Structure 1
């Protein structure tokens, strides 16, 4: 009898392997072919949820980015923003850069917050953060 291989989903991945699920999610998101698909982003979001809840900074950062960039509802964006804040406070330059971007957008428009997070990201070597800092008004 042939053994049947089940497709990997967030539901059949063992919950005791959060690091494996996180690594799979990051791989999916960084894949040039797969990373832009809405269904892959949903799967990656589900895979990142448990590690993010457990305080894994990289998972908080990537899930926060997903929720802020790719979700249409305000509740998910609020959760994403909070996850980004947690990761940024823990020193994640990617989260700091993303917060700086978000706070400098017209919808959020908090230039002092944008400057704060972009300065932290730039101090860690982010060229993008340094570029965005140059675009902020001097009074911010």
Structure 2
């Protein structure tokens, strides 16, 4: 079976760099979602490096996943601050998982802000957000 390789003339908006950017995002997400690979620190480090450029370009899913990685798995305060900011940006863009995670980060310091993000995440169908909201208001 032969596969046709598209050239830039066939697809003027999709060059090799666009393909490699999408590919790196998909590989990073696959690595993180893999049950065996996603728990290894070296794999998380590689996935974080692959997510860095898409997150900088404003890709919401990359911001969300990189923010989670930085907040959960990094030991220094600078990386956690960057992760917090990435989660905030993804939450503002409407990512339900980022809204839930950002609310969890806000909960100890600012219950009102956490409630806001939990309500948004619950509105998107997050059962975890709904449970946390019930705990805030029994």
The alignment's TM-score, normalised by the length of structure 1, stands at 0.83
2:96 is aligned to 93
How far apart are the structure 2 equivalents of 1:72 and 1:116? 28
**TM-fit CA distance, 1:43:** 0.3
How far apart are the structure 2 equivalents of 1:34 and 1:73? 23
How far apart are the structure 1 equivalents of 2:106 and 2:60? 20
Q: Which runs of 4+ in 1 moved over 6 A?
A: none
Q: Which of 56, 80, 87 is 1:84 aligned to?
A: 87
> Is residue 46 of structure 1 aligned with residue 49 of structure 2?
yes
How far apart are the structure 2 equivalents of 1:15 and 1:73? 32
How far apart are the structure 2 equivalents of 1:52 and 1:43? 14
The alignment's TM-score, normalised by the length of structure 2, stands at 0.84
> Is residue 69 of structure 1 aligned with residue 72 of structure 2?
yes
> Is residue 36 of structure 1 aligned with residue 39 of structure 2?
yes
> Is residue 24 of structure 1 aligned with residue 18 of structure 2?
no
How far apart are the structure 2 equivalents of 1:75 and 1:136? 30
Q: Which consecutive residues of structure 2, in runs of 5 or more, have no partner in the other structure?
A: 1-15
**TM-fit CA distance, 1:102:** 1.3
**TM-fit CA distance, 1:85:** 0.6
How far apart are the structure 2 equivalents of 1:117 and 1:95? 9
Aligned length: 122
2:114 is aligned to 114
Cα deviations by residue, 1:24-51 (Å, 9 ceiling, x for unpaired)? 0000000000000000000000000000
**TM-fit CA distance, 1:81:** 0.5
How far apart are the structure 2 equivalents of 1:77 and 1:65? 9
In our comparison, the structure showing a higher alpha carbon Rg is 2
More helix as a share of residues: 2
Q: Residue 55 of structure 1: SS of its match in structure 2?
A: coil
Alpha-carbon RMSD: 1.5
